[in-house]
Amino acid sequence: MKAKLRRSGAKIMASLIVLLGSLFYIMLLAVINGSVGFIAAMGVTVCGATGVAKALGIMGLCAEVSLSWGWIIGLAVGCGVIRGGLRYLEQYSNHYIAFKLLAVLRDKIFGALRVLCPAKLESKQKGSIIAMITSDIETLEVFYAHTISPICIAVLVSLAVFLFVGFVASWYLALVALLGYVVIGIVVPLISSGKLKASGVNYRREFASFNAYFLDSIKGIKDIVLNNAERDREGEVNRRSDILLKETKKMKNGITRASAATELMVTLFIAISLVVGILLVHFDLLDLGRMLIGVVTIFGSFGPVLAVSALPGNLTQTFASGDRVLNLLEEKPAVTPVKNGKTFDYENLSVKDLSFAYERNAPVLKDVCMHAQKGEIIGIVGESGCGKSTFLKLLLRFWEKDRGEINYSGIDVDNIDSDNLLDNVTMVSQTTYLFDESIEDNLRIAKPDATQEEIENACKMASVHDFIMSLPEGYKTQVGAMGDNLSAGEKQRIGLARAFLKGSQLILLDEPTSNVDSINEGMILKSLAEQKSKKSIILVSHRESTMAIADRIYTVSSGIMSEV
Ligand SMILES: Nc1ncnc2c1ncn2[C@@H]1O[C@H](COP(=O)(O)OP(=O)(O)OP(=O)(O)O)[C@@H](O)[C@H]1O
Ligand SMILES: [Mg+2]
């Protein structure tokens, strides 16, 4: 999949750094600790070089600042201790950021999804969003924790060494070092990442394909044995395993070659700086002591750029992940929730001249009029795809209407506080999702403080109480433990029980009995009839038997709704 990025790499980096929020300061701390730590580490070698220069009696610089043996040894030990402490702090900050950031990012993304829900998440192109989110967050974690700070540290330390060597020894030597940093930290990684990219992509593809095939074989092992197909299957597993091994070898080869090239460059630049140093001394442009210090400083200064060159092959993947996450965070919701809007107590619903289209020029509903009073059951019938579910979603403001009015007790739905609307109106949609929790907890999301009695009453009304009691742990049974053992009808009835437990004044039921047998349907319809004196119920169904309890029936055809 080769999607074009919406933003440039620099823009993505900048936006991702802005997302850090207050963690930015911790990252700054990590960068400072890392840079100072590296410089302290080099301090140890520089002190050593100074000591050597002093012993050999070639003190250029050291004579000027007249360092005693005590000072040189003290500085070397001090630098070592500081290096240790700072290294610890750097690692601590980096990992603090890494772990915190996962939580922060997930929170932000969940918040964004919450606002986009349900309209935007329903449309087809958002189908893969959830799967994408998890892997993208992992990729970004690497970016935040192990990419930004090494790059910053490399830039800062290299700059510091360049200035130090320039001022203390010679600017010629400093320029050699700078060239080395650019080649090792930028040029070599760029060249090798281009080559590594293809083998990396191939490896990942084969890895995924092998895993899928292997897991599939394990899942289906019973059927493999039943069909006496072990030999064929084993042969295929081995064949795919060989392909994967070949790709792994290719990739490892590439990586080894890249790191060999990098090491070669380090050696080369150490040699060049030594040669330049000797030449400078030879032509009397530099004294031996300063040359020694300059060259030794350069020798020990390639660590940070080596760390950069070892970063994950290419940033392309990080940018792609960042782009997708930013797209999601910036996505405009189809419907903005109404905060601090008007509140109402449901008495009646009146819909006038309501029109709606998902896409321009393809109207789903045209000038729909209908009304409902407390104490009524309203039926809606119509062929599949005519817009019945759409109508219910508009009543809940999951989508915003294009034209017309939807008035609850005289207040238009667009002015009603979103929370208040969902308190008054509830819907059982065509598919009920059950969480991997106990049945009781699954019911409780409708009313967290419900008593056991309320829960059981709701389940009795939905004709699912007896079924739940027949389970090994009754209401405490874990839904996950039963896997797919819950039938479609049982799930549907639990969805209904949720709606009854919620106790809203207007209940929208989208095909509430489509998967239920006629005995259970009869019981559910009886409970609906018993409740209707206190509520309105809008019932969408194809079934004649269900429609029998409706007080009034509307039919929908070609987007037009008319009362029968
Ligand atoms: N999110 C969406 N984006 C674009 N088109 C949609 C969307 N949801 C539904 N539609 C289209 O709108 C039309 C009405 O769909 P709707 O789900 O309201 O039909 P329905 O009457 O409930 O059908 P069924 O009886 O099969 O449940 C269909 O043509 C459908 O393809
Ligand atoms: Mg429908």
Protein residue closest via CA to atom 11 of ligand 1 = 385
Are both 330 and 353 inside the same structural domain? Answer: no
CB 341 within 8 A of CB 416: yes
pLDDT for res 313: 58
CB 353 within 8 A of CB 405: yes
Which ligand 1 atom sits closest to the C-alpha of 358?
4
- What CATH number does the domain containing 471 carry? 3.40.50.300
Are both 492 and 527 inside the same structural domain? Answer: yes
Are both 422 and 325 inside the same structural domain? Answer: no
CB 388 within 8 A of CB 542: no
Query: Residue 219 domain-assigned?
Result: no
Q: What is the rounded CA–CA span in Å between residue 95 and residue 116?
A: 32
**Residue 450: which residues within 8 A CB-CB, separation 6 or more?**
443, 444, 458, 501
Q: Is the CB of 559 under 6 A from ligand 1?
A: no
Query: Residue 60 domain-assigned?
Result: yes
Query: Residue 183 domain-assigned?
Result: no
pLDDT for res 110: 83
Q: Is the CB of 125 under 6 A from ligand 1?
A: no
Of 392, 349, 388, 351, which Cα lies nearest the Cα of 372? Answer: 349
Q: Is the CB of 390 under 6 A from ligand 1?
A: yes
Helices 129-146, 316-330: axis angle to 10 degrees equals 120
Provide φ and ψ at 348, rounded to 5°: -155, 165
Domains of the chain: total: 2
* Cβ density class 354-384: b for 16+ within 10 Å, e for less: bbbbeeeeebbbbebbbebebebbbbbbbee
Number of CB atoms found within 10 A of residue 77's CB: 12
Are both 359 and 502 inside the same structural domain? Answer: yes
pLDDT for res 128: 56
Are both 544 and 467 inside the same structural domain? Answer: yes
pLDDT for res 484: 63
Query: Residue 342 domain-assigned?
Result: no
Are both 325 and 352 inside the same structural domain? Answer: no
Protein residue closest via CA to atom 24 of ligand 1 = 384
- E strand or H helix that includes residue 72: helix 69-116
Protein residue closest via CA to atom 9 of ligand 1 = 390
Ligand 2: distance of its center to the CA of 510 in Å? 7
Q: What is the rounded CA–CA span in Å between residue 342 and residue 401?
A: 18
pLDDT for res 60: 56
Q: Is the CB of 388 under 6 A from ligand 1?
A: yes
Taking the CA of 557 as reference, the closest ligand is 1
Are both 128 and 103 inside the same structural domain? Answer: yes
Ligand 2: distance of its center to the CA of 431 in Å? 10
Which ligand 1 atom sits closest to the C-alpha of 388?
21
Mutation choice for ligand 1 from 122, 358, 546, CB with most ligand atoms inside 8 A: 358
Query: Residue 440 domain-assigned?
Result: yes
Are both 515 and 413 inside the same structural domain? Answer: yes
Number of CB atoms found within 10 A of residue 255's CB: 16
Query: Residue 403 domain-assigned?
Result: yes
pLDDT for res 483: 54
Ligand 1: distance of its center to the CA of 560 in Å? 15
Are both 368 and 323 inside the same structural domain? Answer: no
Q: Is the CB of 561 under 6 A from ligand 1?
A: no
Taking the CA of 122 as reference, the closest ligand is 1
Taking the CA of 510 as reference, the closest ligand is 2
- E strand or H helix that includes residue 554: strand 552-557
Are both 457 and 536 inside the same structural domain? Answer: yes
Considering 334, 363, 391, which residue would you say is the last residue of a domain?
334
The parts of the chain modelled with pLDDT lower than 50 are 1-2, 62, 124, 127
pLDDT for res 93: 87
Q: What is the rounded CA–CA span in Å between residue 218 and residue 214?
A: 6
Taking the CA of 556 as reference, the closest ligand is 1
427 φψ region: left (φ > 0), alpha (ψ -120 to 50), beta (else): beta
197-to-137, 138, 204, 340, 538 alpha-carbon distances in Å: 21, 19, 11, 52, 57
Q: What is the rounded CA–CA span in Å between residue 358 and residue 399?
A: 9
Query: Residue 202 domain-assigned?
Result: no
Q: Is the CB of 386 under 6 A from ligand 1?
A: yes
Tokens coding 61: 């610089």
Torsion of CA 500, 503, 506, 510, to 10 degrees: -20
Are both 321 and 414 inside the same structural domain? Answer: no
Considering 334, 366, 390, which residue would you say is the last residue of a domain?
334
Considering 300, 334, 368, which residue would you say is the last residue of a domain?
334
Protein residue closest via CA to atom 14 of ligand 1 = 387
pLDDT for res 124: 45
* Cβ density class 424-448: b for 16+ within 10 Å, e for less: bbbbbbbebebeeebbbebbbebbe
| pTM score, whole prediction | 0.69
Are both 322 and 390 inside the same structural domain? Answer: no
CB 302 within 8 A of CB 180: yes
Domain that holds residue 80: 8-147+315-334
CB 293 within 8 A of CB 53: yes
Provide φ and ψ at 539, rounded to 5°: -120, 120
**Continuous H helices in 117-219:** 119-122, 129-146, 148-168, 171-182, 188-219
Protein residue closest via CA to atom 26 of ligand 1 = 384
Q: Is the CB of 126 under 6 A from ligand 1?
A: no
Query: Residue 271 domain-assigned?
Result: no
Q: What is the rounded CA–CA span in Å between residue 388 and residue 368?
A: 11
pLDDT for res 171: 95
